[in-house]
Amino acid sequence: MASKKESCVGSHILSLITFLPLLGALVVALLPRGGHAALRGATLVFSLANLLLSLTVFGVDPSGGMSFKESAEWIPTLGISYGLGIDGIAMPLVILACLVVPICIATTHHLRDPSRLKEYLVFLLLMETGMVGVFCATDLVLFYVFFELTLVPLYFLIGMFGGEKRIYAAFKFFLFTAAGSLPMLVSILYLLWSYKQSHGAWSASIADLRTMSLTTPEQMWVFGGFALAFAIKVPMFPLHTWLPDAHVQAPTGGSIILAAVMLKLGTYGFIRLGIPLLPQAAQAYATPLLVLAVIGVIYGSYLAWAQDDLKKLVACSSVAHMGFVMVGLFAFDKDAVRGAMLQMLNHGISTGALFLLVGAIYERRHRRGLDDFGGLARVAPGLALALIITSMSSIGLPGLNGFVGEFMIIAGTFKTQPLFAVLTALGVLLGAIYMLQMVRRVCYGKPKSEEAKHLTDITPTEKLAFAPLLILMFWIGLKPDFLLDKIGPAVDAALLALGTTP
């Protein structure tokens, strides 16, 4: 008998959440180009409706299994299906993806080319479909289709609406991510062929593929194909160089959606596919990946510390923060992995908010140098307060969301990899240094110019965009169990393939 989560209306809720933005993109594409208010209004209606729908998936199976499952034949001769499902790992990321799109719409009043607002909004909605699809796909080929779908709209968001070097940044982003996609496709095809050889039938179901046994050398090669694609997406050192360029050149909305959700496709791929499907290879690759992750934490922190450009500082900090997540994942301790899952969400909230605020500051002066401001707390106290709180969230101040995830990662990693835990903890100190330095130079002292003395404070639209992120910073920081109770069983189920009690 079907459960309540798979019956009647609930049986298609994931399809609705995945494809409602696509429907919205088609509607917006048909609206007149000149009606900016109508274009924004229609996009906002579809994105807010999808956000409300996404809240229903909070009721995932508390035992860690897949909920709201859907399945239909797609290419039956190859065992490829349209399969969707969601668990405690994917659920927070789906809600986050649906949350950031309305926030990005609030930044569209300052586009580089306002005459292309329609295209910008269409690309945002297409991005939402791709991102949600990745987190919901339970078929490996469908996962790949959605994974690749996200590449196209972000390429155009950067290339059409970015800064002066937007074409360079867009091509660099495309080449890096496309280079990782081909090995992943080869790995997927090999898994499908191997399943056919061992079971006598084709299947691309992730659940079916988990039942298959590959030799260790086979796993090593297949995992390598996945790892390259996911490591570029994270991005891990030394494959991170596309990220600062993409962030700096992207419009504010593009930077928000890139930091908040897109980077998580890589870490999600490791926990959804790499570790459960190829556990022997995951264990064999763990130490090299931990080494690269710790280098990313320390190197990314030093890069951020060295920056004078506010947006580039936040971009480099993402390299360090995502390094934290990778350390937690490959420590193979349940508390560290749970902390990594929570930190994926925390990074999306705090760094998405930082890019929102950096964009707001830039639009007031069209400058991003740390020495171009000073005294922001005097002339725009509301904007300065928002920046300070978000910075404290980013460095992991107790009581805010960043603290819980970082603490769980370091404490859990210390149980299995004490040296890597100590080195990762150095990133906390470095993060405090560069973020507090940024706050001091931007918010305090005297304004550095006559223009800096007359900045407008945070606007009502900016308050509405920032408010949900602010609420989540405090809510997760004070009540982390509300999410950890959902995340934990799904993490335990993913780690079972390692053959040890995590």
pLDDT band at 163 (very low <50, low <70, confident <90, very high): confident
Total tally of structural domains belonging to the chain: 1
DSSP strands (E only) in 391-501: none
At residue 5, does pLDDT exceed 50? no
pLDDT, one tens digit per residue, over 48-83 is: 999 999 999 998 888 888 999 999 999 999 999 999
* Whether pLDDT at 182 is above 70: yes
65 found inside a domain: yes
Residue in the block written with tokens 């305090």: 444
Residue 2 lies in a domain: no
Would residue 194 count as lying in a domain?
yes
User: How is residue 128 annotated by DSSP?
Assistant: H
**Tens digits of residue pLDDT in 93-125:** 999 999 999 999 988 887 777 888 999 999 999
Q: Closest Cα partner for 50 from 111, 151, 136?
A: 136
Residue 9 has pLDDT above 50, yes or no: no
Provide CB contacts within 8 A for 281, sequence distance 6+. Answer: 216, 219, 220, 222, 223, 224, 274
Q: What is the pLDDT of residues 234-267, one digit of tens each?
A: 999 999 999 999 998 999 999 999 999 999 999 9
The reply to whether 1 falls in a domain is no
DSSP string for 207-244: HHHTT----HHHHHHHHHHHHHHHHHHTTPTTS-THHH
Domain annotation covers residue 147: yes
Residue ranges of alpha helices (H) inside 366-417 are: 376-379, 381-395, 401-416
Domain holding 19, by residue range, is 7-498
Q: Does 480 reside within a domain? A: yes
CB within 8 A of 120, min separation 6: which ones?
108, 111, 157, 160, 161, 251, 253
What contacts 501, CB < 8 A, 6 or more positions away? none
Q: What integer is the mean pLDDT of 146-164?
A: 92
Under a CB-based contact definition with an 8 Å cutoff, are residues 474 and 402 in contact?
Answer: no
> Does residue 472 belong to any structural domain of this protein?
yes
* pLDDT score of 3: 40
Token representation of residue 268: 């999600």
